[in-house]
Homo-oligomer: A and B are copies of this chain.
Amino acid sequence: MPKHYTDFLAKHGIKSTHQRNLVLDLLHQMNSPASAEEIYQKAALLQPTLNLSTIYRTLELFSSKNIVTKTILSETKKAIYELNTAGHKHYMVCVKCKALLPLENCPCALIEEAVSSQGGFEIIGHKLEIMGYCSRCK
């Protein structure tokens, strides 16, 4: 049973369990955000009794603790999750092959600056999604 994250989880006030450690393991192995279903598929290979709803509950929990970020893709309306390791919060989505390409230099500052001129609104975050064709599909 993977317990590598017991301390890490405790630091966030979360109990360590087999399932949570497994999900954390998988999140660390991924190089791009994945849907609950995708995470479930990988997890089920290692622990077949594991349930999809546990994945959802775990991801929701991690999300509430800011361990992972949750993004809704507007095209599919599906949520994708990834570790919240600073940076990489926006993606370019290829409308053809559905590839997700991280936006290295997020123009956050530019956006919030441009918007803040509209007084009265206190910005706490933003979502940005770029649609187009990746280099292979173009």
Contacts and interface: CB of A to CB of B under 8 A. Distances in A.
Q: Count copies of this chain in the complex.
A: 2
B120 A135 contact: yes
Contact of A128 (B101, B105, B128, B138): B128
Contact of A110 (B101, B107, B125): B107
A137 to B, nearest CB: 9
A94 B103 CA distance: 25
Interface string A80-117: 00000000000010110000010111010011101101
A125 B121 contact: no
Contacts of A110: 107, 110-111, 114
Query: Which 4 residue pairs of A and B lie closest in terms of their CB atoms, listed nearest first?
Result: A120-B135, A72-B74, A107-B114, A127-B129
